[in-house]
Chains A and B, each alone.
Chain A
Amino acid sequence: EAGVAQSPRYKIIEKRQSVAFWCNPISGHATLYWYQQILGQGPKLLIQFQNNGVVDDSQLPKDRFSAERLKGVDSTLKIQPAKLEDSAVYLCASTRDVAFYEQYFGPGTRLTVT
């Protein structure tokens, strides 16, 4: 089966600009996660979707970050406006359902904010 797809792989923007990341989870996976991984740190959960509903977005900086999962399949994460501290790898992961522990990760999008 095809894995989790993410695009773009790399993005360089200036601070205060906007950026969007796209994720296509494994077919049939109900749960989708977005993580932020800053260099030298472990991934930090930003938002978790169950189908097209939000399960947890407690660590999402809602003043600048937004995410949606239309029709419970693809998802988009947006940053507007970007700050220097947003430079990180943004990882998307999916599981069959919320109770399944094995998460399948995409390759990530490396964002550099200058």
Chain B
Amino acid sequence: SQELEQSPQSLIVQEGKNLTINCTSSKTLYGLYWYKQKYGEGLIFLMMLQKGGEEKSHEKITAKLDEKKQQSSLHITASQPSHAGIYLCGADSGTYKYIFGTGTRLKVLA
């Protein structure tokens, strides 16, 4: 079965710093989604990547899917306290069966 591994598991950065979160799949990705979860709340969809090499941005958050479609990175520029939360990558493991990574907890210090 397909698995998604995220790194790092947790991250603490000073406000204004840039950071990167990685998501690695055990199999080729046919669709990779990024979600954000605030503590104690549901997930909020950020963006979806489908094509190898594709890059998308949402405000100060940029995500890219590598050419081989087995890894995605999410980059936050000039982090703010509002970026704090848990970032989860998700994928369709086949026939609309969705799986999620273990998540990366981000804390931004003001």
Proximity bits, A20-56, B CB within 8 Å = 1, else 0: 0000000000000100000011111100100000011
The interface residues of chain B, by DSSP majority, are classed as strand
C-alpha spacing A21/B84, complex, angstroms: 28
User: How long is the Cα–Cα vector from A44 to B4 in the complex, in angstroms?
Assistant: 12
- Interface residues contributed by chain B, number (CB under 8 Å): 22
Number of A interface residues at 8 Å Cβ cutoff, please give it: 24
A2 at the interface (CB under 8 A from B): no
- Are A108 and B41 in touch, CB under 8 angstroms? yes
Assuming the contacts A91-B42, A108-B41, asked whether A42 and B98 have C-beta atoms less than 8 A apart, the reply is no
Q: A98-B96, A101-B33, A103-B98 are in contact. Are A42 and B42 (CB under 8 A)?
A: no
Interface of A is mostly: loop
Chain A residue with the shortest CB-CB distance to B41: A107
Q: Select the stretch in B11-19, B53-61, B64-72, B99-107 that faces chain A.
A: B99-107
Does B42 lie within 8 Å of A4, measured CB to CB? yes
Say whether B98 contacts A33, CB under 8 Å: yes
Determine whether the beta carbon of A43 is less than 8 Å from that of B96. no
Shortest CB-to-CB span from A45 to chain B, Å, is 6
Interface residues of A in 54-107 (CB under 8 A from B): 55-56, 91, 93, 98-99, 101-107
Give A contacts to B, CB under 8 Å.
4, 33, 40-45, 48, 55-56, 91, 93, 98-99, 101-108, 110
Residues of B within 8 A of A (CB): 4, 31, 33, 35, 40-45, 48, 88, 90, 92, 96-103
